[in-house]
Amino acid sequence: MQHIKNIIFDFGNVLFDLDLPATERAFRIFWGDQFEQARAKLVQARIFELYETGGLSTQEFVEAIRWAGPVALSEEQVVQAWNAIFIGMPRHRFDLLLRLRQQYKVFLLSNINALHEQWIAEYMVREHNIHDYEMHYFDGVYFSHLIRLRKPELDIYEYVLADAEIQARESVFFDDLESNVEAARQVGIHAFLHPAGSEIAEHIQLILP
């Protein structure tokens, strides 16, 4: 693929490995046979979507979940369950990002909330001794809860292109969800589905040999 100048990465299950069902498993333990009812209550109130786009504070989000089930949970239980999805980011992917930045501009575009952003920042310091990883490994970072837009809304891709001053036709995007990939394609970005559990370096080599 010629004329590519920019690479845009999703975070979870592209660069950072996740166990997405882990949070549901944790809440099922807490709520038992009331799990589906509690989740439906939260979905109907758009709690997850609002938190992911900055419409709720962390305290408001935690309180909403605490009281969603038959028995009130502690704040610690909510936060631990919410952050249970994280596995880690292997060192070789940091090296990959640095190599890519020698040839391309590299961006991060993630649907993420404040609790998850905080957990990742602390993980970077704890496990890799990396402070301010956003500045060291990316030319720009776009988190949904900060820019108040989320994938797969077309507005979020248009926002990134405008803010970063890059062209869609000169950009590639990797995401683990088909809906996000299709939305990026609608605004002209070369977008590719990255299967969870596969290695992003190998995928990049196929697209940008």
Average pLDDT over all residues of the chain: 96
Residues in the chain: 209
Structure tokens at 133: 């990883």
Contact by Cβ (8 Å): 134, 120: no
- The whole-number pLDDT of residue 2 equals 72
Per-residue pLDDT reduced to its tens digit, 54-111:
999 999 999 999 999 999 999 999 999 999 999 999 999 999 999 999 999 999 999 9
Task: Give the orientation angle of helix 91-101 with respect to helix 200-207, to 10 degrees.
Answer: 30
Q: CA 51: distance to chain centroid?
A: 13
SS3 (DSSP) at 16: strand
Sorted by sequence, the CB contacts under 8 Å of residue 133 that are 6+ apart come out as 121, 124
- The whole-number pLDDT of residue 196 equals 85
Does residue 197 have a pLDDT over 90?
no
- The whole-number pLDDT of residue 103 equals 95
Of 69-73, 153-157, 182-186, the one with minimum mean pLDDT is 69-73
Q: What percent of the chain has pLDDT over 70?
A: 100
Contact by Cβ (8 Å): 51, 61: yes
Residue 144 is which amino acid? S
Rounded mean pLDDT, 107-126: 98
Does residue 209 have a pLDDT over 90?
no
Per-residue pLDDT reduced to its tens digit, 157-175:
999 999 999 999 999 999 9
- Residue 167 Cα distances to 6, 89, 141, angstroms: 8, 29, 17
Burial of 35 (0-12, 13-18, 19+ CB in 10 A): middle
- The whole-number pLDDT of residue 126 equals 97
DSSP structure class, residue 85: G
